[in-house]
Chains A and B, each alone.
Chain A
Amino acid sequence: MEKLPLEGIRVTDFTAVWAGSHITQWLGVMGAEVIKIESSLRPDLTRQVFRGMAPDCPMSAVFAVLNYGKKGCTLNMTLPRARELAKEIIKVSDIVAENFGGPVMDRWGLGYSELIKLKPDIIMYSGSGFGRTGPYKESPAFAGIIEAFSGLCSLNAHPDGEPLPMATRGYIDLAAAQHGVFAILAALYHRSKTGQGQYIDLSMTEVMGAFLPEPIMHYTMNGIVQAPLGNRDSYVAPHGCYRCRGDDDWVAIAVSNDDEWRAFCDVIGNPEWTEDERFHDGLNRLKNQEQLDSLIQEWTKNHDHYEVMEMLQKGGVIAGPSFKVEEVVQDRHLGERGFFTAIDHPGIGSVRLAGLPWKLSGVPQGNYQHAPLIGENNDYVFKELLKMPEEEIARLQEEQVIY
């Protein structure tokens, strides 16, 4: 039986909502045993998020897609006894992850300095908007706040447009979570070589900075504040997104040198305007891209966006449709590669959700256990893992400790 990469690694998971749930999900799918701690008094907000709640469904689609591969356990952490039980779980864990909006773990007596007393080689991950030190260590953060503060919003616009947060609400949540996953894996690697654990302090703002090197260096090198480019590029044209035939269908096209330009002109049938001096070389195409773009759009408008991709790709030119959500789901390429994975959910049924974006030769796809119902794996955690007697578990449930 082939093993998943993180088999044998256990995670005590205090994270919630987007960024946090996302990080432990990656660990779970890669084979770690993730024990998500919630309380019926304070379930993860995304269980009942405003969107995606299927009728009669015990969890939202959003929760389902951010929490598969995990086990669910309830502890009412406001009670001292629950915190003691959390410590017992931590003692048999390799990683503790949290992304509270402030020093909640310290208040519970579960800060890093306490955790290393319980488990000397523990790896603790703290994710926050601005870092666990510094002037904003307790500032509330949401993805949009970070995207605004870090400068991303100011760049996420059409050239004449207003600044806005990017794409899916929570882009930086996901980018930060993945940087966190990488840092945790690196810490695990270090532990495997040296036996030493450590504390990881991840700031979403700092991750966003890592993803904006050019705007930052435009400023540090030359004092220049970069303007938003939209779909355009600073160096080459045409480089844009063009309207196609159909209902709000668009195609992206990028031409980066003279060879590609000639290939592009051939594909569109060398209309007279392509001979124009205004578009003769790269510099001129860049200078006159406004006119160039509208002429190109005259051509794309007559074609289906898939058709434009096929025609141009055949000619060696970079082009691809701007896929709608449903087109991603139905795309034949992603379908053939098995990007989506069917997960059977209590109350929802079988759902095709986005799976791992990679394939490892010789390793099974991943742990796609459905997202847990609240406290779904309490038996496993308290009876099997902590070996507590059933009467005690029943009493603690009664006392709303395991709750």
Chain B
Amino acid sequence: MTSQALSGLKVVEWSEFVSGPYCGKLLADLGAEVIKVEKPGSGDKSRSYGPFPQKIPHPEKSGLFLYLNTNKLGISLNVQNTTGADIFKELIKQTDILIENNPPGEVEELGFDYQSLKNINPGLVMTSITPFGQTGPYRDYKSCDLTSFHMSGMAFINPSEGVDDTEKKAPLRGATHQADLVAGLNGAIVTLSAIFVCQMTGLGQHVDLSEQEALASFMRRELGVFAVEEMGWTRLKGTQPGMESDIYQCSDGRIYLICFHDRTWEPWIEFMGNPDWATSELFADIASRRENWDAAKAMIEEWTKEHSVDEIVSAAEAMRVPCKPVNTAKELVESELLAARDYFTEVDHKQAGRVKFPGAPYKLSETPWCVEQPAPLLGEHNEKVYCERLGYTKPDLVRMRAGGVI
């Protein structure tokens, strides 16, 4: 095995669904050794989420699980059982990092809070990813991707163009699991930063990461503008200048087009054949265009409706006018770009067969991102971890299995 950026880092991931597992995946895909702890029986909650091959639900074939748990060693362990808790602590003694996304109260009850774990491993970096953090009045509130997204303020300003009817259209959650993914991503960043502190001081850290704050920090622009100008955000379309939609209907689909600035306006109207309206004074410079953009947009769309997406996008490419089709996942998967970039990853999984999913979010020249092994079956690496690592015997495993420990 070639050396990767995070080779040598040892991680225990005691978390499920999306946020903690994405954090673990980011570390594992760059070479950290991640031992994923799942509860015996049902395992990680994401195992019951699709997509599934042929749309047939199966705990070993969940697309979401297979994507989020690449390169991890999987063990099953009932940490609520006394023996299980002891085994968990043995794992903690040998790890650099613990990632967990459990309710703070439950973690304390089990005796796995940082103060307790620090006593058995003073160098431990414990990253707790929770909806609202470890302190404050909402600490013990329950949340999910939907409510986290709404409580961060992101949903209220989504979509950024606003809506026609604020009574009929509710504020909108981000697509799929954006809130949980953002939390996991922040978790991975702060975990590595804590490792640097550890390198300097030899001391471990408890990382208290709030999903609400992780998402709210994506709104730093709106929050900053509010702080300076005390200007709020309304949802009615047209009330937020500069937030107009840049999406245009074409004869066979939609495009996203930015032709507002001087450098792009000139070539764009030339491409449209310099129609009379476009050369009028109403649109002569950027200030007047800003003033009359609704009118310009309507006229541009009259024209784009008569032309195909491909025709417009390739002409725009040549003119260096920012313009791309509004794709679905289908066009993205089939795109020439991502084929040329060798983006998608395919792995053979023992039960799900050949699975294709998103690949490296970054290309590192010396220590490339890679998938060495697919997501683990539930308890797939019990023997490897319990026997080879912790010194249990095979008969021990049989007993532990019978006792509901693993």
Contact = CB atoms under 8 A, between A and B. Distances in A.
B356 A166 contact: no
21 contacts: A3-B200, A139-B320, A148-B327, A151-B332, A152-B175, A155-B175, A167-B218, A175-B185, A179-B185, A189-B5, A205-B337, A216-B357, A221-B51, A231-B173, A242-B170, A252-B151, A318-B144, A320-B148, A329-B227, A334-B216, A353-B223
B189 A178 contact: yes
Given A165-B160, A334-B213, A180 B247 contact: no
Contact of B55 (A50, A212, A222): A222
B315 interface: no
A167 B232 contact: no
A293 to B, nearest CB: 10
Which of A168, A322, A355: most chain B Cβ within 10 A? A322
Nearest to B142: A318
B142 A317 contact: yes
B160 A196 contact: no
B242 A50 contact: yes
Interface string B1-40: 0011111110000000000000000100010000000000
Contacts of A339: 210, 213, 216
A346 interface: no
A298 to B, nearest CB: 14
A111 interface: no
Interface in B179-199: 181-182, 185-186, 188-190, 192-197, 199
B158 A156 contact: yes
A207 B361 contact: yes
B243 interface: yes
B363 A167 contact: no
A241 B161 contact: no
Which of B154, B156, B336: most chain A Cβ within 10 A? B156
A285 interface: no
A183 interface: yes
Contact of A328 (B66, B136, B219): B219
B65 to A, nearest CB: 10
- The contact size tier of chain A is 35 or more
A322 B170 contact: yes
A6 interface: yes
A211 B53 contact: no
Given A156-B158, A209-B343, A363-B205, 18 more contacts: A6-B193, A65-B224, A134-B337, A135-B337, A150-B327, A156-B174, A179-B185, A185-B196, A190-B5, A196-B366, A203-B341, A209-B359, A214-B50, A243-B167, A320-B150, A328-B219, A329-B227, A333-B212
Contacts of B224: 52, 61-62, 64-65, 351, 353-354
Interface string B203-235: 101111110111111111111111111001111
Given A167-B174, A179-B185, A333-B138, A133 B361 contact: no
Given A179-B361, A190-B6, A325-B157, A358 B170 contact: no
Interface in A351-371: 351-363
Nearest to B320: A140
Contact of A209 (B178, B233, B323, B332): B332
Contacts of A348: 228
Contacts of A139: 317, 320, 322, 324
Nearest to B53: A221
Which of A5, A239, A242: most chain B Cβ within 10 A? A5
B85 interface: no
B247 A182 contact: no
A210 B209 contact: no
Contact of A136 (B153, B157, B247, B337): B337
Which of A51, A221, A318: most chain B Cβ within 10 A? A221
A337 B209 CA distance: 11
A51 B146 contact: no
Contacts of A170: 221
A254 B144 CA distance: 8
Interface in A161-186: 161-171, 174-175, 178-183, 185-186
Given A209-B343, A324-B233, A358 B186 contact: yes
Contacts of B182: 175, 178
Nearest to B188: A182
Interface string A138-162: 1111101111111111111110011
B233 A325 contact: yes
Chain A to chain B: the 5 pairs with minimum beta-carbon distance, closest first: A65-B224, A148-B256, A357-B213, A155-B175, A217-B63
A328 B223 contact: yes
B351 interface: no
Given A151-B327, A169-B243, A329-B223, A250 B258 contact: no
Contacts of B49: 214, 235
B136 A213 contact: no
B155 interface: yes
A144 B212 CA distance: 24
Nearest to B157: A167
Interface string A217-228: 111111011101
Given A209-B338, A334-B212, A167 B160 contact: yes
A362 B305 CA distance: 59
Given A178-B186, A205-B337, A241 B142 contact: no
A379 to B, nearest CB: 27
B256 A144 contact: yes
A193 interface: yes
A387 interface: no
A168 B175 CA distance: 14
A252 B333 contact: no
A58 interface: no
Interface string B308-344: 0000000001001111111111111101111011011
A139 B185 CA distance: 27
B84 interface: no
B360 interface: yes
A97 interface: no
Nearest to A224: B51
B155 A241 contact: yes
Contact of A254 (B147, B185, B317): B147
Given A181-B189, A323-B153, A190 B367 contact: yes
A252 B146 contact: yes
Contact of B229 (A61, A150, A192, A320): A61
B133 A337 contact: yes
A337 B137 CA distance: 9
A217 B357 contact: yes
